[in-house]
Structure 1
């Protein structure tokens, strides 16, 4: 039987196909779009898909339900700018130059956005980069200078600096959606980096979330009152304890005037950042301040009335609750805004052919071991959330426990897009894991190296190797100490078993593997010495008194 199709219906069919293709519906044979979402200091313990008892994150969880959640994702260096440099270059920080937040990035390095741009992708970046004001390989960008501000933030753009009124998490999302809706070229695939400032310190929530979350109480971690027994010098000397190092004004939102009035009643004494409270609060308009003041006044009245008579344990618990209220409120805003972007992908038809990655630049302590911040190779800092959704390629609801790192992100995205990665990239493509070809994955250990010492938080220099079963760490420079943790039997990493005779064989094997990894990634004791001298010189030039 033969069918006759009129010219009119051929035209309708053609228009439909073009329309579908432009919206992202007809995706067969097309290059995938990339949406890379990264938050700053987002602990995996604060994502409900990871089993969090602290907060619900339904929109991030949706990515896990529709994609793959990695339970052993980690970073190579747990501090902001170095982590971002590793993500962009696919190289360890000792090779891209950004070993810490002070050392300059080697701008001759090729970044993966450059490779996407070179291969026909439209590229854009909105939010927090944290180093450099002119990212290479990006067609359009609006990035926060340095750490950026939560309220009425400034942005660097190709056309100059600008200030946008409002709350930073909402604004970064508005910019991202605006680009997708109005500036995206539908004839090109895109690589879009959507980079949140939140929940980085000092954890200023939106006014609405501030009021909501300060009425909540959160469960305490089992190790909140850790005394660091059975650990080495590094854990004992780190300056990141909630009670003794978290600041009253900068962090807990106690007005400086009240601290002055209370005088000796405020104990323990904690050194404050200059303008720690008014730096963020002072950017608010009168209307914005009015929304914050109602909650700030309640917090300050409670502090004034109760703090002087609290026991040490009660003060620790008070600071923990204040910390969680603000940190998790910031997370809740991130999740809401991720939902806005995912909804747009669905409504526009782009979701089907878009790889969505959700991650953080590292993990973060949420009171575990009595700490906030990051830096250590211990799990809460070392591990990072990683969720990847790619419809029809990645099985929804899948969970992967292989050892993967932010070192792998660049090569994975390039591989998924059919773009050849440079030979000097050091990561491995996660495509075998994402597409169900696990037999092609052969990594059993990852390498870590932290450099920024002596500096804020005073976490000692260390490097190490981590497998699914064990973690071997060497702290060096002003100490020479080794630690070994049994990750299966001691998931909270409370007992250093380096000198336990039962682990002697494990220690010997792990030290050999660590030496091999150091050589593989071109790290060495000689490089350690070079970076120590460079870092010392930079600190002295900046007038820092650590040395």
Structure 2
């Protein structure tokens, strides 16, 4: 670890701006000419745009926990929404503090426990009139940039464009860009109105980003790394589709990152922490799942990962059902297994009928999703044609499947390649046998699950 005054002076300040629930397809610099993202478009011209950046889970808390720990969801323990990471995890706060950095969270948190995420400073989002969501704490960020005396790593975490969206009167379909996964809704007035409000919320977040970039340019020197991303896509939320897991990722670092460049290399949210550690003069520990992509920023086009992975856990969301999935992806092909597909439902049932009824509900809720899926992303980027039965792709399918289960075992996954293993999970506020604000179950199922029926996650 470097410790000299000169070495410390070379260490960049780090600002990571994270938007909330925004598809990668909804930015000007990623090809959507109908949405206004001028601040990010400017950032892309001044830095490097990543075409293949991923999170492993399209849910807020698990996505952020990966970013802050360098570990995939099952390893760090936060693989269902509103749950905790394992208490013995070492996060970005500890890693970067040991390297002489202050670590700051400005905005939405959504991660716990506090003992793992021990920020030097933390500022909550602030109320703002005339908008549907709270704003980032601009005044606190402004003051901090002016006064900063030592290297810092600041995560600015917006609540936009996550719903509740703006109310846009007289919304028109021609002002929305549609894709194969939603073009059937062009004539759906409520959907068009919702998308118009979402676009307006994107514009509001762009205004926040512009304010932050102006402060960075005003108060910080050129040795400042600035990263923009969004935690996952809203159109693929709770799934393992690319529209959920593929994230925007733009990096500006004057004098280091060549302006107006792109990278097609596979990178992942778990790579962010090891990259920061290396930039700060440290050595990433071996228990991190990610790898440093610092060479890419310095202009070396090299493979960071051959594969990236994804997980899906539907049981800890408001519309909770038993339907876990795992996915593996290389640059071209993607394999998915839906472990409680209707195709294999009978093999997942056990001898407890009070448990079986919820396993059936999950399989029936997603009855159109096959047990196995295989996509040629190069020719079908929106995953419209399942090629799992294609005889010419069986070797690719088997390679991906074998590698995915190897990774799952390494991660300590409770699922495996054997059918009949369908545990049900629980966490505070998300019981399968209880109603909530958006989900009503039959009276006959209320409070029918007992403590011993659940797969227990101790740290939740």
Q: Same fold (TM over 0.5)?
A: yes
Task: Report matched runs for 1:159-170 at 5 Å.
Answer: 167=131, 168=133, 170=135
Measured in 1, the distance between the counterparts of 2:7 and 2:193 equals 47
Cα gap change, 1:72 to 1:442, in 2 (>3 Å): closer
Measured in 2, the distance between the counterparts of 1:484 and 1:215 equals 32
What residue is the counterpart of 2:379 in the other structure?
489
What residue is the counterpart of 2:117 in the other structure?
136
Measured in 1, the distance between the counterparts of 2:158 and 2:427 equals 31
Is the Cα contact below 8 Å between 1:465 and 1:514 reproduced in 2? yes
Q: How many residue pairs get matched?
A: 402
- Uncovered stretches (5+) of structure 2, i.e. residues with no partner: 1-5, 345-370, 436-440, 450-460
Task: Report matched runs for 1:450-465 at 5 Å.
Answer: 450-453=312-315, 455-457=317-319, 460-465=323-328
Measured in 2, the distance between the counterparts of 1:33 and 1:542 equals 48
Measured in 2, the distance between the counterparts of 1:62 and 1:464 equals 33
Is the Cα contact below 8 Å between 2:15 and 2:153 reproduced in 1? yes
Cα gap change, 1:204 to 1:27, in 2 (>3 Å): farther
Task: Report matched runs for 1:78-89 at 5 Å.
Answer: 78-89=58-69
Is the Cα contact below 8 Å between 2:82 and 2:110 reproduced in 1? no
Is the Cα contact below 8 Å between 2:56 and 2:309 reproduced in 1? yes
**Greater mean deviation of Cα atoms: 41-50 or 506-515:** 506-515
Cα gap change, 1:508 to 1:132, in 2 (>3 Å): closer
- Please report how far the alpha carbon of residue 393 of structure 1 lies from its aligned counterpart in structure 2 after TM superposition: 1.2
SS at match of 1:339: helix
Task: Report matched runs for 1:109-508 at 5 Å.
Answer: 109-132=89-112, 134=114, 136-144=117-125, 153=127, 167=131, 168=133, 170-181=135-146, 184-185=147-148, 187-204=149-166, 217-225=175-183, 314=187, 316=188, 318-348=189-219, 350-365=220-235, 374-439=237-302, 441-453=303-315, 455-457=317-319, 460-477=323-340, 479=342, 480=344, 481-508=371-398
Measured in 2, the distance between the counterparts of 1:408 and 1:212 equals 43
Tell me which structure has the larger Cα radius of gyration: 1
Task: Report matched runs for 1:532-547 at 5 Å.
Answer: 532-535=423-426, 539-540=430-431, 543-544=434-435, 545=441
Measured in 1, the distance between the counterparts of 2:34 and 2:198 equals 11
Is the Cα contact below 8 Å between 2:45 and 2:259 reproduced in 1? yes
Is the Cα contact below 8 Å between 1:133 and 1:143 reproduced in 2? no
**Match among 523, 527, 531 for residue 413 of structure 2:** 523
SS at match of 1:323: helix
SS at match of 1:45: coil
CA RMSD of the aligned region, Å? 3.1
Cα gap change, 1:133 to 1:438, in 2 (>3 Å): same
Is the Cα contact below 8 Å between 1:214 and 1:326 reproduced in 2? no
What residue is the counterpart of 1:276 in the other structure?
none
- Please report how far the alpha carbon of residue 374 of structure 1 lies from its aligned counterpart in structure 2 after TM superposition: 1.1
- Please report how far the alpha carbon of residue 95 of structure 1 lies from its aligned counterpart in structure 2 after TM superposition: 1.6
Higher relative contact order (CA 8 A, sep 6+): 1
Is the Cα contact below 8 Å between 2:388 and 2:397 reproduced in 1? yes
Asked whether 1:39 is paired with 2:19, we answer yes
Cα gap change, 1:492 to 1:526, in 2 (>3 Å): closer
- TM-score for both structures, normalised by structure 1: 0.67
What residue is the counterpart of 2:364 in the other structure?
none
Cα gap change, 1:452 to 1:352, in 2 (>3 Å): same
